[in-house]
Amino acid sequence: MAANDTASATKLIKGRVVLNQLLKFLFLLATMVGLIFLVLLIYRVLDQGLGFLDVNFLTSFPAPFPEEAGLLAGIMGSIFLMLLVAPIAVILGVSTALYLEEYAPKNRFTRFIQVNVQNLAGVPSIVFGLLGLTFFVYLFSLGYTLIAGALTMSLLILPVIVVASQEAIRSIPNHLREASIGMGASKWQTIWTIVLPAAIPGILTGSILALSRAIGETAPLIVVGAATTIYSIPDSLLSKYTAMPIQIYSWTVRPQEEWQYVAGAGIIVLLVILLAMNAVAVWIRNKFQHRF
Interface with other proteins includes 267 (CB under 8 A)? yes
Contact 228, 193 (CB under 8 A): no
Contact 146, 241 (CB under 8 A): yes
Rg (CA), the chain: 26
Q: Which is nearer to other proteins, 48 or 180 (CB)?
A: 48
Q: Which is nearer to other proteins, 80 or 128 (CB)?
A: 128
Q: Which of 1, 2, 28, 55 binds other proteins (CB under 8 A)?
A: 28
Q: Which residue type does 99 have?
A: Y
Could you say which residues in the range 54-83 bind other proteins, by CB under 8 A?
A: none
Residue 135: how many other CB atoms lie within 10 Å: 16
Q: Which of 7, 9, 12, 19 binds other proteins (CB under 8 A)?
A: 19
Contact 85, 153 (CB under 8 A): yes
Q: Which is nearer to other proteins, 142 or 236 (CB)?
A: 142
Q: Which of 79, 113, 176, 280 binds other proteins (CB under 8 A)?
A: 113
Concatenate the DSSP letters of all residues of 270-289 into one string: HHHHHHHHHHHHHHHHHHH-
* Nearest distance from C-beta of residue 67 to other proteins, angstroms: 19
Q: Which residue type does 242 have?
A: T
CA–CA dist 58, 55 (Å, integer): 5
* Nearest distance from C-beta of residue 23 to other proteins, angstroms: 5
Q: Which of 217, 234, 240, 262 binds other proteins (CB under 8 A)?
A: 217
Lay out the site mask for other proteins across 118-157 (x = CB under 8 A, - = otherwise): xxx-xxxxxxxxxx-xxx--x----------------x--
Q: Which of 7, 9, 12, 23 binds other proteins (CB under 8 A)?
A: 23
Contact 149, 81 (CB under 8 A): yes
